[in-house]
Structure 1
Amino acid sequence: MARDGYVVPVDPQAALKKKTAVSRSWILLDCTGEGTILDVDKYAIMHRVQIHARDLRILDPLLSYPSTILGREKAIVLNLEHIKAIITAEEVFLRDPHDDNVIPIVEELKRRLPPVNARHAQGDRKENQDRHNDAEVSEEDESPFEFRALEVALEAICSFLGARTTELETDAYPALDELTSKISSRNLDRVRKLKSAMTRLTARVQKVRDELEQLLDDDDDMADLYLSRKLAGPSSPVSGSVAPSWIPASPTIASKISRASRASAATIRGDENDVEELEMLLEAYFMQIDGILNKLTTLREYIDDTEDYINIQLDNHRNQLIQLELFLSSGTVCLSIYSLVGGIFGMNIPYTWNDNHGYVFKWVVILTGIVCASLFVLIISYARYKGLVGS
């Protein structure tokens, strides 16, 4: 006998939270700078840009992956802190476009992705055809599309890390100076937090620097980032000008491929392994990241110097306490001897030699005091001779 079914009521707020958590929004920017918000799953992205699941996993905000720049056959997978993007020869897919740190990058991509002549022509789209053709011809002096997108991402991450470093320096140097002048629990805790933040930021900057250095050291990896060169290869006169199957059908796809071919014409006419253009681009931002890392290294050295200075101060205070303890212990020993002698002679015990000789007790007490004082001076002199106390 079958069980009767029943309906479980659904909490609308819980369903909304689940939907928000599962939703993965992207923004698609084409070569004209036009943006389109996409709400698609990872399989659609993988099919569109022809990358593997392990590459897309690097861009998952729920997973913690270090900064990475990967060159694939038809795309560049970019994971730089909050910048998680996929760059093709004609499009840029940027994750989480509504994030506060990503919005300025989207605006900059819209401004920088169109070619220079196309930007100048946006205010006057009804120009004659001759001027439009002249603009297209001059586009071959432009950098390839993927390099312009990569440059925006590198510039954004350098600015972001540089701003974080400046903020850390602004907070750290006054805190360290204040700790030097006054050692307190509050100042120590403040410096501890700043040092932890500096350590985390240094690790992030170091990873970006290592990634750029690894690219600069390998010409093959840099050659993999020349997507326009790869796209222009199949569109040569020998193989025809048919659009690749991985690019979505579009009325302007032929002009896009042609524009990409012109953009990389300078490098195509030369050696296919020539990576000088990309090397110059990466070298410029590598120097910026290296400069940021040097600032953090200088800050770390300043923190280490401050810690050494504080340790010296604490050692000095500790030595002063040891000296005080030595003085008190020496004085206590001498006073104990003096009290012992005085106590022995002050007891009510009959002594035959003490009869009618009261002056003896007086001289014994005086001599005992002299001996105890001499003993105290001798102990302190010995301690100074051994360097246990300061002069």
Structure 2
Amino acid sequence: MDLADSASLELQAPSAVTKKTAVFRSWILLNHDGVATLLDVDKYAIMRLVEIHARDLRILDPLLSYPSTILGRDKVIVLNLEHIKAIITAEEVLLRDPMDDDLMPVIEELRRRLPIATAAGQGQGEEDTVAQDGESGEEDEFPFEFRALEVVLEAICSFLDARTRELESAAYPALDELTSKISCRNLDKVRKLKGAMTRLTNRVQKIRDELENLLDDDDDMAELYLSRKFAASSSPTSSSCDPKWLHSSPNPDSEIHNISNKTSTTTVEGDNDVEELEMLLEAYFMQIDGTLNKLKTV
């Protein structure tokens, strides 16, 4: 559903409401052109806007403790990964609590990478135009929902890796001080760092486990192909109407493309083919697994 279809929704800046209300009502919507719109709406408006059930929306409630989740539904992907609480459709992304400082870089990256490049090569020679259009075409054939998903996974893996490096930089000097001089102050410092390390390890482990569980189930991965499901429902008997991304490689600069070079001759044989998504998830699984190994080493 496009934002134009929800003209009756109340729109206003989050600063116009109390901080408590803003946590429950404040969302940001980014469309396929990367255009962002602040929404101050209740949960019922969100349910109507993206056709999501209340039980799935509760997963994103900041006051409820839900595990890390990447959940595919009929028309949406529900994501609860640390501070990133999002709903992805085949053409829009909604993020909860857009005023969160940790979420700002994610929003900016989505605004940069969601739009489809339509003007590549303008003002250049004909040969350059053809070459650049070819490159942008390859990127654009990757479905919208996976472009959005990749931004979120990249952001959460980088965020947790940064927190790990911060703890590493504090832990080793603290251990050196304790080795050279055993004191209550040094013992307390190391104890606090160990507690922080344990909590961070648990957070990283949850993300890793969710990616591993998803990779282990082809049916769950198939549920994330929103564009494919939409195309199938629109023209269930016509394979000629399948979007080009079903038969193409994704963004040449993305994690998934770097891995897919090894299997560039892969062809899609049916709606249950999840190889491209599997490679995307594996890329970030390896990244988060590396972060977990760093923490265990420390």
Decide: shared fold, TM above 0.5.
yes
Aligned position for 1:263 = 245
Relative contact order higher in (CA < 8 Å, ≥ 6 apart): 2
Structure 2: give runs of 5+ residues left out of the alignment. 1-14, 124-128, 249-265
Q: What amino acid is aligned across from residue 80 of structure 2 in structure 1?
A: N
What amino acid maps onto 1:73 in structure 2?
D
CA distance in 1, matches of 2:247, 2:191: 54
Residue 233 of structure 1 and its aligned partner are, at CA, apart by 1.0
Per the TM alignment, residue 276 of structure 1 is displaced from its structure 2 partner at its CA by 0.3
Paired residue type of 1:43: Y
Partner deviation per Cα, 1:235-279 (whole Å, 9 max, x = no partner)? 22858xxxxxxxxxxxxxxxxxx9x93434559963111100000
Partner residue, 2:261: none
Match of 1:100 in 2: 101
Distance in 2, Cα, partners of 1:174 & 1:77: 41
Alpha-carbon distance between aligned partners in 2 of 1:55 and 1:261, rounded to the nearest angstrom: 28
Q: Contact 2:72–2:78 at 8 Å: present in 1 too?
A: yes
Q: Confirm or deny: 8 A CA contact 2:29 2:95 kept in the other structure.
A: yes
Q: CA deviation at 1:58?
A: 1.1
Aligned to 1:70: 71
| Pairing 1:40–2:41 present | yes
Q: CA separation in 1, counterparts of 2:26 and 2:17? A: 14
After superposition, what is the alpha-carbon deviation per residue over 1:168-196, rounded to whole angstroms, capped at 9, x for unaligned? Answer: 00000110111011110000110111011
How many Å separate the matches in 2 of 1:119 and 1:197?
A: 48
Q: Which runs of 4+ in 1 moved over 6 A?
A: 134-137
Whether the 8 Å CA contact 1:228–1:263 is kept in 2: the answer is: no
Task: Name the counterpart of 2:87.
Answer: 86
* Structure 1 counterpart of 2:57: 56
Give the count of matched residue pairs. Answer: 257
What does residue range 154-169 of structure 1 map to in structure 2 within 5 Å?
Answer: 154-169=153-168
- Which aligned pairs between 1:180-195 and structure 2 lie closer than 5 A? 180-195=179-194
Match of 1:297, SS? helix
Question: CA 1:196–1:136 in 2, change beyond 3 Å: closer, same or farther?
Answer: closer
Distance 1:289 1:19, change over 3 A: same
Give distance in 1, aligned partners of 2:110 and 2:192: 35
Shift, 1:50, TM fit: 1.8
**CA, structure 1 residues 271+238, in 2 after alignment: closer, same or farther (shift >3 Å)?**
closer
- The question of whether the paired residues in 1 share the 8 Å contact of 2:120 and 2:136 is answered with no
Does structure 2 conserve the Cα–Cα contact (< 8 Å) formed by 1:145 and 1:263?
no
Which letter maps to 2:168? E
Distance 1:138 1:100 in 2: 33
Q: What secondary structure, in the 3-state scheme, does the structure 2 residue paired with 1:288 have?
A: helix
Three-state SS of the structure 1 residue aligned to 2:234 is: coil
The residue aligned with 1:235 is 234
Instruction: Report if the CA contact (8 A) 1:118-1:135 is conserved.
Output: no
Alignment partners' CA distance in 1, 2:169 and 2:275:
38
In structure 1, distance between residues paired with 2:135 and 2:47: 32
The code of the aligned residue for 1:34 comes to V
Kindly provide the amino acid, as one letter, of the partner of residue 165 in structure 1. Answer: T
Match of 2:201 in 1: 202
Q: 1:153, CA displacement in angstroms?
A: 0.4
Deviations 1:269-325 (A, max 9, x none): 6311110000000000000000000000001xxxxxxxxxxxxxxxxxxxxxxxxxx
TM-score (norm 2): 0.79
Task: Give 1:248-287 correspondences, 5 Å limit.
Answer: 261-264=243-246, 266=248, 270-287=269-286
Question: Match of 1:70, as an amino acid?
Answer: L
> SS state of the match for residue 118, structure 2?
helix
Which residue is 1:311 aligned to? none
C-alpha distance in 2, partners of 1:93/1:298? Answer: 37
Instruction: Give the Å deviation of 1:60.
Output: 1.1
2:214 match = 215
1:293 pairs with 2:292: yes
The 1:237–1:193 alpha-carbon spacing in structure 2 relative to 1, beyond 3 Å, is closer
Question: Tell me, what secondary structure is at the counterpart of 1:120?
Answer: coil
| Contact 2:35-2:111 at 8 Å conserved across structures | yes
**Counterpart amino acid of residue 50 in structure 1:** E
For 2:224, the equivalent position in structure 1 comes to 225
Say whether the 8 Å CA contact 2:83–2:103 is kept in structure 1.
yes
Q: Which runs of 5+ in 1 are unaligned?
A: 1-15, 125-129, 240-257, 300-391
What amino acid is aligned across from residue 42 of structure 1 in structure 2?
Answer: K
Write 1 or 2 for the structure with the bigger share of helix.
1
- Per-residue CA distance 1:45-72 (angstroms, 9 max, x = gap): 1122222111111111122222111111
Cα distance change of structure 1 residues 193 and 136 upon mapping to structure 2, 3 Å threshold: closer
Structure ID, larger Rg:
1
Aligned-pair identity in percent equals 71
Answer yes or no: is the 8 Å Cα contact 2:88–2:145 preserved in 1.
Answer: yes
Structure 2: distance between partners of 1:70 and 1:162 = 23
Inter-partner Cα distance in structure 1 for 2:181 and 2:33:
59
Q: CA, structure 1 residues 237+185, in 2 after alignment: closer, same or farther (shift >3 Å)?
A: closer
TM-score (norm 1): 0.61
The offset of 1:32, in angstroms, is 1.1
Shift of 1:219: 0.4
Q: Which amino acid aligns with 1:261?
A: P
